[in-house]
Amino acid sequence: MVRVLINVPKKAHRGEVIEIKVLISHPMESGQRRNEMGQPIPRDIIHSFRCTYNNQVVLEAELFPAVAANPFLSFFAVAEDTGTIVFAFTDDHGTEQVERAAIVIE
Amino acid sequence: MKRRGFLIVAGSLVPAIWAPARATPAEVAQAIKSVIGSTVPKPGRLKLDVPVLVENGNAVALSASIDALPGEVRAIHVFAEGNPLPRIGSFRFGPATGRPRIATRIRLATSQTVIAIAEMTDGTCYSDSVDLLVTLAACLE
């Protein structure tokens, strides 16, 4: 489990465009570096990220080693109904982590 | 070996040793082709925003947005032609997308051109690129 900071407005009006910001605490080891013994350091990155709003896709991202350590993503969703925004991402070990944020439509 | 001959040979070896690993133009073209197929991207509409002068290549703020409705855009792909691996990321949009814009932070190995390509739902593609200078490269050591 890695630490994830999620920034989603708690409340929104119906049809409002909201900004979603996600910061995942992860080294994103590129696989291009070598350690002090000259051995390549194996790649360890988050390679896929998916954000859904009430099961509808907001963003599906495929990430490569060129994404900086502690990947940050900012994107926009359209607020339609009260519900949950789900963030799921997978790293090179195949571990999937899921985070959730609630949003209320007023 | 004559001095002149030695200098020419030595001079040609130095860049091969010291240049950071970067993808060849063919690899970059192949990476783009693997994503958008043989479609030729048109200029315009898409706006790639990256600083022209990068002080630290380890974390460069990048944003790409396109002047279109969210439903018109399938994805935005970003490429770095001077990195060892040209692909940076592919961002696909869905029915709940509010605005076809993404922002993230990337690594840049050297001064180079960063390319963004937007793939529209009607199959056309738009591209934008930025030539930038990197003073401190993302470390490869």
For every residue of B45-63, DSSP letters joined together read SEEEE--SEEEETTSEEEE
Number of domains in chain B: 1
Q: Which positions in chain A touch B59 (Cβ < 8 Å)?
A: 68-69
CA distance B121 to B128: 18
> What confidence tens digit (pLDDT) does each residue in B92-103 have?
999 999 999 999
- For position B57, what pLDDT does the model report? 92
- For position B17, what pLDDT does the model report? 45
Instruction: Please check whether residue B62 lies inside any domain of the structure.
Output: yes
| Yes or no, beta carbons of B105 and A54 under 8 Å apart | no
Closest-CA distance, B65 to chain A, in angstroms, reads 10
- Give the max Cα distance, chain B: 69
| Residue found under tokens 């315009």 | B44
- Determine the Cα angle at A34 with ends B52 and B19, to 5°: 45
pLDDT in tens, chain B (141 residues): 666 666 565 555 554 444 557 888 889 999 999 999 989 999 989 999 999 999 999 999 999 999 999 999 999 999 999 999 999 999 999 999 999 999 999 999 999 999 999 999 999 999 999 999 999 887 665
Q: Do B100 and B63 contact (CB within 8 A), yes or no? A: no
Q: Which positions in chain A touch B106 (Cβ < 8 Å)?
A: 66-68
Distance of CA A9 to the CA centre of its chain: 16
| Yes or no, beta carbons of B83 and A63 under 8 Å apart | no
- For position B2, what pLDDT does the model report? 67
Instruction: Please check whether residue B102 lies inside any domain of the structure.
Output: yes
**Domain that includes residue B111, residue range:** 3-136
pLDDT in tens, chain A (106 residues): 899 999 999 999 999 999 999 999 999 999 988 888 989 999 999 999 999 999 999 999 999 999 999 999 999 999 999 999 999 999 999 999 999 999 999 8
- Asked if the C-beta of A41 comes within 8 angstroms of chain B's C-beta atoms, the answer is no
Structure tokens at B66: 């396109």
User: What's the fold here for domain A4-31+42-105?
Assistant: Immunoglobulin-like (2.60.40)
Instruction: Please check whether residue B49 lies inside any domain of the structure.
Output: yes
Instruction: Please check whether residue B141 lies inside any domain of the structure.
Output: no
Write the CATH number for B21: 2.60.40.2470
- For position B21, what pLDDT does the model report? 73
- Asked if the C-beta of B23 comes within 8 angstroms of chain A's C-beta atoms, the answer is no
Exposure pattern of B27-63 as b/e (b: 16+ CB <10 Å)? ebeebbeebbeeeebeeebbebebeeebeebbbbebe
Q: Which residue of B has its CA nearest to A85?
A: B96
Closest-CA distance, B5 to chain A, in angstroms, reads 33
- For position B11, what pLDDT does the model report? 58
